[in-house]
Amino acid sequence: MDALQYLVSGIEIIVLTYFGFASIYVFVFSLAGLFKQPQRKNIIQKQRKFAVLIPGYKEDNVIVEVARRALEQSYPEALFDVVIIADSFQDITLYKLGNLPIKLVEVSFEKSTKSKALNRAMEVIGDDYNVALILDADNIMEYDFIEKVNNAFNKGYKVVQGHRMAKNLNTPMAILDAISEEVNNHIFRKGHRVLGLSSALIGSGMAFDYHFFKTTMARVNAVGGFDKELELKLLRDRNTIEYLHHALVRDEKVQKSEVFANQRKRWLSAQFIYFRRFALSGLKELFVKGNVDFADKVYQMISPPRILLLGLVGLITTSYVFAEFYLGSKLLFVPSYLWIGIMVLTLLAFFMAIPTKFYNLKTANAISTLPKAFLLMLLSLFRLKGANKKFIHTQHGAITK
């Protein structure tokens, strides 16, 4: 019996440590995100030539409009090319794209991936560029986005992440997805930069020194989550990733639960893969070389996603409170007040990170779908097998209901 008690107590401590650290982590960076992000001064004044790379797989519903809108920038027309990387597009879509003043690169792979598409496009368009700007096939840049990115490069940065935000809030699931995006922007981008660490990459709305990106991407072979592999390699080499909070890219948020589940399945799979691959090097970089930025990124690969953190901490806290009340505290090694403290920290982190514009009746209605989102994420943990071996496509295009 004593051995069983030791085992149960050990499990309690491990679970408390894992979720306790995760809660403190998001609270600290969420609090930091409330402060002003430090800014560098310009070290050069230069207008660079941009390759706006937009890979798309079967994105016939949105790609023509995205291409048109990408051309509408305050930046000089002669200094940026919109490059559509077309994988499995319909003939009529290719015809419409061919009539626009863009560069069209058609690609085809036995197993399609974003990294393959980007690498192939850079082979085709050549090296007459200073900056590679990556968008998703549903992204719309604000009018001055390229201009703001160029200004960041004038401050000496080689890698820049813009502020990706929702362009649609037409379903409860889209509202939840939009809030999730802003929470991550606040904690993992702005909050990190305030405390001197690198911003997280998102996979789009990001820009790189062109030759640097081309060389780095040649070593990236990810099926899913290529941005995770890319930022781990960048941070291991001590490259700072800047975040531009006021440089906006509008992104279509998922509108159906099925799409949400597929997207999160892909993200979770990528996180676990890269944690296994970089865990040991993360410890080495931290304790031998003092590379906190890289170690922090490796930790993010194993930290619980925000919806799971909120849901699981809530369930565990409720269970402990009820167990103590009905069964007494002697059966539990960890007192319930510690879990209550963790729950309070988690809730405060979310309240600080959610923009005030989302405090409205539509959000209150969307919260009713939060248990479903939590359940989908939880189930995804048990359905990750093979998710990293094939490309999982997120279909874009607004729905009417």
Residue by residue, DSSP assigns 278-310 as HHHHHHHHHHTT--HHHHHHHHHHHSPPHHHHH
Q: Clarify whether residues 141 and 113 are in a common domain.
A: yes
Q: End-to-end CA distance of the chain, in Å?
A: 57
The Cα–Cα gap between 228 and 55 comes to 17
Please tell me the least confidently modeled range out of 6-15, 92-101, 145-154, 276-285: 6-15
Q: Which pTM was predicted?
A: 0.89
- pLDDT tens digits, 209-242: 999 999 989 887 666 667 888 898 899 999 999 9
Identify the burial level of 100 via C-beta atoms within 10 angstroms of its C-beta, where 0-12 means exposed, 13-18 middle and 19 or more buried: middle
> pLDDT tens digit string along 12-67?
899 999 999 999 999 999 999 999 999 999 999 999 999 999 999 999 999 999 99
The pLDDT, as a whole number, for residue 156 is 95
30 and 120 share one domain: no
Can you give the pLDDT at residue 383? Answer: 66
In a domain, 236, yes or no: yes
Residue 181's pLDDT is 94
* Range(s) of the domain holding residue 284: 2-34+272-380
The predicted structure's pLDDT at residue 399: 36
- Quick check: is 176 in a domain? no
Q: What is the pLDDT of residue 396?
A: 61
Question: Chain-wide mean pLDDT for the chain?
Answer: 89
Q: Quick check: 247 and 73 in contact, CB under 8 A?
A: no
Residue range 301-318: mean pLDDT, rounded: 91
- Cα distance between residue 387 and residue 300, in whole Å: 19
Q: Has residue 330 got a pLDDT over 70?
A: no
What pLDDT was estimated at residue 372? 79
Q: 36 by DSSP, 3-state: which?
A: coil
Banded pLDDT at 376 (limits 50, 70, 90): confident
CATH of the domain at 107: 3.90.550.10
Report the pLDDT value the prediction gives residue 239, as an integer from 0 to 100: 93
- 399 in a structural domain: no
Are residues 270 and 226 in contact, defined by beta-carbon separation less than 8 angstroms? no
Domains of the chain: total? 2
Reported as a pLDDT band with limits 50, 70 and 90, residue 400 is very low
C-alpha distances (whole Å) from 93 to each of 56, 58, 61, 65, 120 are 12, 10, 9, 11, 20
Relative to beta strand 206-209, strand 131-134 is: antiparallel
Q: Is 399 helix (H, G, I), strand (E, B) or coil?
A: coil
Residue 397 lies in a domain: no
Number of helices and strands (H, E) in the chain? 15, 8
For the sheet containing 206-209, what is the strand order? 103-107, 80-87, 50-57, 131-134, 206-209, 159-166, 241-251, 140-141
Looking at the structure, tell me whether residues 232 and 92 fall in a common domain. Answer: yes
- Is residue 266 in a domain? no
Do the strands 103-107 and 159-166 form a parallel or antiparallel pair, or are they unpaired? unpaired
